[in-house]
């Protein structure tokens, strides 16, 4: 399915264009010859050495995570103000169901969330394996009744920290590559100087061309470090922090509910933990709950969880990104 233009990370794309446009534009304003920058040998030296460092420094599992992380850099933002509001509504429905029917009735939902009458209404949550597994695994501890609220809080906090460290791996690897790129550029320049020394005594034009080729290696290493790889690592770090923020919201809501808070109060605890720029107002949240929240009826013993088709139609929360506002 095509990605809506309004949801593309336009600032990231614009930033890359500005970096290369500014560098090349300034070079052309000084009447530089752009073809001088086309030095395949320098690209092979810097790019090949960078790839070799990645292979030496990281196991295969880390390489896969790096590729997955890089793939998210130019994807639409995963979490927005609207998505946080949807998650709050989902939590409210889960808590209302547990209060009305009993926490034990949630067992089929947490064991198979894709068939849950509650979770089926939230495909965004079901597609997010990170948040889905985190919430369902934590709910399972309450369903089977083997943990207290304090123990659950500690357990979820450990889980969040482990997931954060795991996501930090690709970021650290990219930062290491960025730090090595200027040095690789210097290596390319030194090799170019060696080649230039071999041409001393030849035509001045030939010597000048070889010196220019040597300097392109340094230019390429510095540009990739500070203009591409370094910013990419920082952006990936921000994406990872957004995932951690969602897990913290889920943790606070579930622990508050486990400690005896009413569903609305537990969700309010969670809303207060959302970063300010993404946090919906209480009035907006309350209005959405009154208009759109649905709690499935109790299930007959032995009956499978109700499917989505058995639920009454529910209006979706308007997403400003999709409407183009």
The token duo for 23 is: 């560098």
**Virtual torsion, Cα 204, 208, 214, 217, nearest 10 deg:** -160
User: How high is the pLDDT of residue 49?
Assistant: 92
The token duo for 38 is: 């086309």
User: How high is the pLDDT of residue 225?
Assistant: 93
User: How high is the pLDDT of residue 210?
Assistant: 82
Instruction: Give the integer Cα–Cα distance in Å for 19 and 41.
Output: 23
User: How high is the pLDDT of residue 153?
Assistant: 92
220 and 42 Cβ atoms separated by less than 8 Å: yes
User: How high is the pLDDT of residue 9?
Assistant: 65
Instruction: Give the integer Cα–Cα distance in Å for 256 and 98.
Output: 14
219 and 186 Cβ atoms separated by less than 8 Å: no
User: How high is the pLDDT of residue 277?
Assistant: 84
Ranges of residues in the chain with a pLDDT under 70 are: 1-9, 295-325
User: How high is the pLDDT of residue 316?
Assistant: 42
- Helical H runs in the chain? 10-29, 40-57, 60-72, 81-100, 107-111, 123-127, 129-143, 149-198, 204-224, 230-258, 263-272, 282-292, 320-323
């Amino acid at each position: 399915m095509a990605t809506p233009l309004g949801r593309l990370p336009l600032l990231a794309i614009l930033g890359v264009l500005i970096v290369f446009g500014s560098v090349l534009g300034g070079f052309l304003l000084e009447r530089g010859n752009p073809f001088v920058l086309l030095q395949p040998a320098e690209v092979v030296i810097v790019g090949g050495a960078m790839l070799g460092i990645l292979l030496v420094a990281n196991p295969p599992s880390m390489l896969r995570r790096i590729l997955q992380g890089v793939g998210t850099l130019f994807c639409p933002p995963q979490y927005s103000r609207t998505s946080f509001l949807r998650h709050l509504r989902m939590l409210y429905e889960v808590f209302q169901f547990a209060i009305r029917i009993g926490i034990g009735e949630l067992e089929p939902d947490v064991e198979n969330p894709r068939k849950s009458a509650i979770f089926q209404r939230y495909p965004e949550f079901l597609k997010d394996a990170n948040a889905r597994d985190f919430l369902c695994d934590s709910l399972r501890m309450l369903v089977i009744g083997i943990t207290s609220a304090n123990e659950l809080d500690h357990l979820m906090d450990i889980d969040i920290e482990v997931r954060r460290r795991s996501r930090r791996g690709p970021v650290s690897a990219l930062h290491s590559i960025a730090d090595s790129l200027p040095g690789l550029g210097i290596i390319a320049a030194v090799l170019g100087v060696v080649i230039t020394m071999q041409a001393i005594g030849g035509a001045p034009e030939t010597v000048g061309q070889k010196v220019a080729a040597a300097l392109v290696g340094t230019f390429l290493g510095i540009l990739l470090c500070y203009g591409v790889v370094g910013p990419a690592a920082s952006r990936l770090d921000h994406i990872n922090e957004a995932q951690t923020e969602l897990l913290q919201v889920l943790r606070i809501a579930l622990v508050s509910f486990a400690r005896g808070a009413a569903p609305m109060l537990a969700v309010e605890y969670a809303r207060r933990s959302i970063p300010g720029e993404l946090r919906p107002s209480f009035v907006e949240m309350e209005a959405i709950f009154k208009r759109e929240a649905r709690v499935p009826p109790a299930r007959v013993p032995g009956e499978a969880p109700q499917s989505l088709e058995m639920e009454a139609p529910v209006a979706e929360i308007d997403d400003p990104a999709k409407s183009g506002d």
